[in-house]
A and B are shown apart, each in its own frame.
Chain A
Amino acid sequence: MIEFKLPSLGADMDEGKLLEWKVKPGDKVKRGDLVAVVETPKAAVDIEIWQDGVVHELITQPGTTIPVGTVMARLIGEGEAPPAPAPAPGPAPKAAAAPALPAAPPPSRHAVSPAARQHARELGVDVEQLTGTGPHGSVTVEDVEKAARAPKAAPVAATRTAEMRKAIAAAMSRSKREIPHYYLSETVSLERAAAWLEAENARRPLPERMLMAVLYLKAVALACKAYPDMNGHYVDNAFRPAASVHVGVAISLRQGGLIAPAIHEVEKLPLPELMKKLADLVKRARAGSLRSSEMSDPTITVTNLGEGGVQAVFGIIYPPQVALVGFGGVSRAPTPAVVASLAADHRVSDGHRGALFLAGIARLLQEPEKL
């Protein structure tokens, strides 16, 4: 029997609230399928399963908040026999023949249409608090919009923002407590990268154009392959390098706060595909539709604060990762350039390695056509 447990979706998550099951008993699932939606302090996240099997039993009821690691469901693995049904009770002694109690009603499930749930995420409305006016009391898009317009909607959104602030505070405080950061920066010429990108975009239709951010991500990922001590996790007093580079992309949310989900295996992605994945990730992060694997396994983070006009950014590492690369704004005179910075974990690497890593990123950005 496979136990499906609530995964940890980051250092800032201790518990989650099950919003919805995407499967029911008897459903066949395979590795990578989305099986549930769980609300974390930062976002509602689609939870994937990592084994093949058949759903046997859903244990956690929607609306319940459970700690990380709680068994939420049981599945029958491939080749496993379903458990034998409980033996039928023998004839009850007459003396015990009390009238049977009515079966307990199934725990009520808050019926919400998928469109309404999606809309509620966008508007910051807690659907669990709404009374539905649709068929069988289901919550409709109109119910969500009405709640969003009502004065009480503000506290709900404010609560979500406050929860996210608390989650960020916990993760960043832990980082600063536990990780001896060191910081380095280097001004990187973007003359060739900017010219290459301009020429490339000139021949691309608008929906297929790329951003400089994509070149940054790819250069960081390739540099990680050369400097693996920047890419991985520090767990149980030891560094565990990662085999692939899953780059966590810091994305600011319009309602406040930020989230850093991963794009997987960035080192292998051609730039146009990486651009598509980045656009999709930003869109889903802001719509509250991320997947558990994107939340749980970034191996390094990249943050780009150049849009805000800052010259450089010196970030705080997101534990258990061991490095964060920042990019500031692109200066135009005399030639395009950007300040790339590194925050790295001194338990794992030294400044000399960090300097080589940053120089590696700079070198890769001088040959954009090879990225």
Chain B
Amino acid sequence: MNQDEVRKAVLAELMRIAPELEAGDLVAGKLLRDQVDLDSMDWLNFLVALHERFKVEIPEADYAKLGTLDQVTAYLQAKAR
């Protein structure tokens, strides 16, 4: 998957969790949790969805690396290689 495809897949999963989200309004370099109403259960469900879609393990210690859409995309691309 190239970067665009990964980003689109991440956005699709995010919008499944937060259907009110307008993808166009999301700033890729800004913290997701500042832009989307995500509680810890939503966040866990989002990560589980990514884990299942990309078949990657995401240790809890890595959560801090997943702040923005750009970071999530880069992390998954690197892990999925």
Contact = CB atoms under 8 A, between A and B. Distances in A.
Interface of A: 122, 198, 201-202, 205-207, 209, 211-213, 252, 254-255, 278-279, 282-283, 307
Interface in B25-81: 37, 39-41, 44-45, 47-48, 51-52, 57-61
Nearest to B58: A206
| Category for how many chain B residues contact A | 10 to 19
Given A213-B40, A255-B20, 14 more contacts: A122-B19, A202-B61, A206-B44, A206-B47, A206-B57, A207-B52, A211-B41, A211-B44, A213-B41, A252-B39, A254-B18, A279-B41, A279-B44, A282-B41
Contact of B48 (A207, A212, A307): A207
Nearest to A212: B40
Contacts of A213: 40-41
Contacts of B52: 207
6 contacts: A205-B57, A206-B58, A212-B40, A278-B41, A279-B45, A283-B45
A164 to B, nearest CB: 16
A252 B59 CA distance: 27
A205 B19 CA distance: 26
Given A122-B19, A254-B18, A207 B51 contact: yes
A208 B53 CA distance: 16
Nearest to A255: B20
Most A CB atoms within 10 A — which of B18, B48, B51, B58?
B48
A199 to B, nearest CB: 10
Contact of B60 (A202, A254, A307): A202
Given A206-B58, A207-B51, A307 B39 contact: yes
A330 to B, nearest CB: 10
Contact of A201 (B19, B48, B60): B60
Given A122-B19, A198-B60, A254-B20, A209 B44 contact: yes
Given A279-B41, A307-B39, A209 B20 contact: no
